[in-house]
Structure 1
Amino acid sequence: MNNKLNSCTKDISQQYIMMLKDWIPTDASIAIAVENTYIYFHSSHQNIRLEVGQPVLPGSIAGQVLQTRQKTEAILDNSLFDTPYYGIGYPINVQNQPAALVVVLPPAFSAKKTEPFQFLTGKQEEEWNPIAINKISHIESLQKKTWFYVDGEQFKTTITLKELQTRLPSYFIRIHRSYIVNIHFIKKMARDLTSNFIVTLIDGSELPVSQSYITNLRNALEF
């Protein structure tokens, strides 16, 4: 990125902050990305993992805005925060360069937007079945579809894991990019031959725990 662009970044960023501060929460975060690199970031959130100069991740809100040049909003996983977050991205220009302005609302905002699910409606063949949330042992993302399991039976839902993570009761824990588990159905946790954690459920199902989510599980079960 050239020196001219670097020299004007602060002034441009401050202009956007002045426009935004009247309507966004004081603990929201603001990021600006140009040429697939974050050139500005401001946040009062202590658990965020984002720095100036960091490349834009594919699939992130900033990445989608830079690619499509359209306003983008989504609930995303914990690639930046320790918990899911809600963000809105806007296409802007910085020194005639395509850029993305991203406003990230605090995790608490996302949690307060909607009440936790009391049930999920799952599909089996040509039937739709409403299932009480507390009967679901775990939820899986597989081949771009979401499945949940009850007494060994598999049901399909149209709701993504990212969305579910913000709407499930606190006893559901994300343990992997592809799995959310109901802790009431966990029988044991142990390391496998490669020292990775495996969660074994009461029905014998074994689910992997990825390194990025092991803290979630430890905090929930205090081990």
Structure 2
Amino acid sequence: MTTLQTVHVQEIEHWAKLLREWIPKDATIVVAIDNIYIYCQASVHHIHLTIGEDVHPQSVAAHVLRTRQKTDALMDESIFGTPYYCLGYPITLQNQPAALMVVLAATFVPTTPKPLSFITGKLKDDWIPIPIEQITYIESLQKHTWFYVGQDAYKTTITLKELQLRLPEQFMRIHRSYIINIASIARIKRDFTSNLIVVLKSGIELPVSQSYVAQVRKILEF
């Protein structure tokens, strides 16, 4: 394996680790660059793919590499010997355009959850439904999920992972432990180690982890 290939694999493993928090356990992760498959983290749903083989011109990978756009499709067995559902994402590896695919069983049915308009939280001995727009940020702490309104902290049974899928666009994940309401941001600064810090209007400061820096910059356009 060349040094460049090693760097690619290390970077891909980082992507794969992040994805594993969100995708089904039986998903296969595939990466292609320069119209060649360079990585495959197989799962229960096995596809007949060999590292180093050319990208099929009718595949999701080919479409993503060509258009640089996210795409998904239900594919028949003509490409990998078995039908499958595939999600493809444009990524960049060492400044080179690449495609990352999440391969699932053909029976997989993608769903788009309806955005939440409120979250019911527990405050002392009461359960109170709180409108989404009143929430400043949400935190995962000691295996519990908390959301904050003013000085009050409410506990909810919904996990941070589930909330990220169901919250409206005004919410943004900045850390494995934090989701914030963009409307609650006062400013963004750097700490003494040059890491990004989000300062809320309440004065609370929350760190942006390195895994989410690019996403935060893209959403907030800075």
Same-fold status (TM-score > 0.5): yes
Q: Percent identity?
A: 48
**Could you tell me how far apart the structure 2 residues matched to 1:119 and 1:150 are?**
12
Q: TM-score, normalised by structure 1?
A: 0.56
**Could you tell me how far apart the structure 1 residues matched to 2:92 and 2:217 are?**
20
Pairing 1:162-173 to 2, within 5 Å after superposition: 162-173=161-172
Pairing 1:1-223 to 2, within 5 Å after superposition: 13-14=47-48, 17-21=80-84, 24=85, 27-28=86-87, 44-47=88-91, 103=104, 112-223=111-222
Change (3 A) 1:152 1:194: same
**Could you tell me how far apart the structure 1 residues matched to 2:159 and 2:132 are?**
15
| 4+ aligned runs moved over 6 Å, structure 1 | none
**Could you tell me how far apart the structure 1 residues matched to 2:124 and 2:105 are?**
39
Which structure 2 segments of 5+ residues have no match? 1-41, 50-76, 94-99
Alignment RMSD (CA, Å): 2.9
Q: By how many angstroms is 1:132 displaced?
A: 0.3
Q: How many residues are matched?
A: 141
**What secondary structure sits across from 2:180 in the alignment?**
strand
Which amino acid is the alignment partner of residue 144 of structure 2? K
Deviations 1:130-169 (A, max 9, x none): 0000110000000011000001210001111111101001
Which amino acid is the alignment partner of residue 90 of structure 2? Q
Q: By how many angstroms is 1:104 displaced?
A: 8.1
Deviations 1:19-53 (A, max 9, x none): 333xx3xx33xxxxxxxxxxxxxxx432399xxxx
Q: TM-score, normalised by structure 2?
A: 0.56
Which amino acid is the alignment partner of residue 146 of structure 1? T
**What secondary structure sits across from 1:165 in the alignment?**
helix
Change (3 A) 1:138 1:104: farther
Which amino acid is the alignment partner of residue 20 of structure 1? P
